[in-house]
Amino acid sequence: MTGAQAIVACLVKQGVDTVFGYPGGTILPLYDALYGSPVRHVLTVHEQGAAHAADGYARASGRVGVCIATSGPGATNLVTGLAAAFMDSVPVVAITGQVQTNLIGRDAFQEIDITGITMPITKHNFLVKDISKLTDTLRRAFAIAKSGRPGPVLVDIPRDLQMNKHDFTDIDAEVPHQMLVRQSPNLPSLITKAAAAISAAKSPLIIAGGGCINANAGPALIKFSEQCGLPVVTTLMGIGAIAGNHPNLLGMTGLHGLKQANHAVYAADVLIVTGSRFNDRVTGDRARYADGKTIIHIDIDPAEVHKNVDAAVPLVGEMNSILAELTQAVKPGELSGWWKTIRDWQAEYDEVFAGNELSAPWVMTELNRQVAEQEVIYVTDVGQHQMWAAQYLSVMSPRGFLTSGGLGAMGFGLPAALGAQLSRPDKRVIHIVGDAGLRMTGCELYTIAAEQLPILSIVINNNSLGMVRQLQHCFFNQRYSASLLPMPMDFAAFAKAFSIPAAITNSPDEFSQAFAEAWQQQGPSLIVANIATADLVTPMIAPGGAMDAYVDVK
């Protein structure tokens, strides 16, 4: 068979049912092989959309997402999406076409060194030059992408290798080169040490990071929290690891974390950190963050341990088994005083939004009311709306809140939502985006309409680059340089151009009615929520500041 036919056969063997892409000259042999195959191809408007869609597919399902692009500009358009997947540890395989082998290095039309370009933002990448190694390389790519700490892998395949025929006798071979999960060599004794520290703690706290969700360790985390009586906060990427209505959950911690969550982190004497890399948005001032605390760091990747914050007890290995052993080993202490302090913080800082005016926090609480405990997946873009969603949405299950955390890529939301919806047709996707983010990748509404996906998009419209404006408001003397959008955009008319029903809302009553009607739609829909430009995300910690050093946001 041809190399292209072998690629499709490998995709089928890997259980791939959907790929996202955009054709071009050097990848056309693969597109010819996809024609009539069991693999569904979704044509996006832009290759960046294909990469984000594959990312959303993977985040929502836990399986490997696949995107395809041609050489040159097609391949380079994948870069932002691959970087987003890399920084959030998402398993994606990108297949790119390359000029034929005898033209590589000769500046041929649409030739680009995409393996060189993506080396820093992929877990691994390959340029295949020997057709006999094609299928083995693809299987290795999938094994690498999904094993250990997940991440994106790129496979660059010259056009002639896709067209040439070869006797691929290894199509049905087992996946080779399984990646071994490394663990601390003295893990049992370290678990004993960690259990002793937790048992003796007066104010212990669990921090659930994105690695907890990647490891499918939500149930183990909840059991650990409940049996040991431990409160839980999440990072942005850890939202959903524990149900939003669980009594042990205090909310999100970090730069825009809830005050009760940040106070708990600041006051804790033992932090049990599950799958978080301690990035700057979580810790602020790292020295003060760890001061006086015993840090127990659970992670699959040994490179993350001690990288940003020194751990007194590093537990490197498979999270489910480590949490299970800790649950058995910890002897719960007397924590009633600690819980009383936490409940007092919650009573002091919990907010109730009356609905006198339309605001983003009110929208999030209204979504909680109308959606209740139905099976939904929230997908956000990046900016103020992202933080409001993280603060106030009640996310009931792992993989129920998808967002670009590490890269913070504006434009992520809409294409990621279409990937998520295709991977989980049993759940409804609610896409939340700012007006600026929708301008970036809004044309993927065409793809959503063409596929008739029942995605409900909510545009938090404040006619500005909201988070940029907020930073200028707080730190640049309110000099709003290039952050106020000069012309309002009619997003409802834009959606209707793709035959998507849309509504504009200016009050809580209008939004409630519009959402109730959109929820009944069988296909896509869009709601614009017009809010005040001056609305700011609170609380806010000064970048690099301590967890209790809040900016006076006025």
- pLDDT tens for residues 98-136? 999 999 999 999 999 999 999 999 999 999 999 999 999
SS3 label, residue 523? coil
How does pLDDT run across 182-240, given as a tens digit for each residue?
778 899 999 999 999 999 999 999 999 999 999 999 999 999 999 999 999 999 999 99
Confidence of residue 546 (pLDDT cuts 50, 70, 90): confident
Beta carbons within 10 angstroms of residue 186's beta carbon: 10
Confidence of residue 282 (pLDDT cuts 50, 70, 90): very high
Residue 177 has pLDDT above 60, yes or no: no
Q: Which tokens sit at 292?
A: 């006086």
User: HSE (CB half, 13 Å, CA atoms) of 517?
Assistant: 14
Secondary structure of 361-414 in HEC code, one letter for each residue: HHHHHHHHHHHCCCCEEEEECCCHHHHHHHHHCCCCCCCCEECCCCCCCCCCHH
Q: Which tokens sit at 363?
A: 């929208």
Compute the average pLDDT of residues 304-316: 94
Residue 180 has pLDDT above 70, yes or no: no
How does pLDDT run across 389-432, given as a tens digit for each residue?
999 999 999 999 999 999 999 999 999 999 999 999 999 999 99
Q: What is the pLDDT of residue 35?
A: 97
Confidence of residue 355 (pLDDT cuts 50, 70, 90): confident
Contact 394, 374 (CB under 8 A): no
- The reported pTM is 0.96
SS3 label, residue 464? strand
Residue 361 has pLDDT above 80, yes or no: yes
Q: What is the pLDDT of residue 479?
A: 97
d(CA 4, CA 28): 9
Contact 553, 474 (CB under 8 A): yes
Q: What is the pLDDT of residue 229?
A: 97
Q: What is the pLDDT of residue 118?
A: 98
Q: What is the pLDDT of residue 172?
A: 81
d(CA 8, CA 14): 10
Confidence of residue 356 (pLDDT cuts 50, 70, 90): confident
Contact 378, 408 (CB under 8 A): no
What residue ranges in 44-152 does DSSP mark as E strands?
65-69, 92-98, 124-127
Residue 542 or 395, more confident: 395
Give which of 243, 183, 185, 235 is closest to 210, Cα–Cα.
235
> DSSP letter at 463?
S
> DSSP letter at 45?
S
Residue 351 has pLDDT above 90, yes or no: no
Compute the average pLDDT of residues 351-358: 85
DSSP 471-491: HHHHHSTT--TTTB-SS---H
Residue 69 has pLDDT above 80, yes or no: yes
Cα 497 to Cα 290, 446, 456, 490, distances in angstroms: 52, 9, 16, 11
Q: What is the pLDDT of residue 399?
A: 97
Cα 434 to Cα 249, 413, 511, distances in angstroms: 27, 10, 16
Residue 547 has pLDDT above 90, yes or no: no
Confidence of residue 173 (pLDDT cuts 50, 70, 90): confident
Cα 291 to Cα 110, 152, 473, distances in angstroms: 53, 35, 31
d(CA 483, CA 469): 6
Mean pLDDT, the chain, integer: 95
Least confident of 224-238, 268-282, 341-355: 341-355
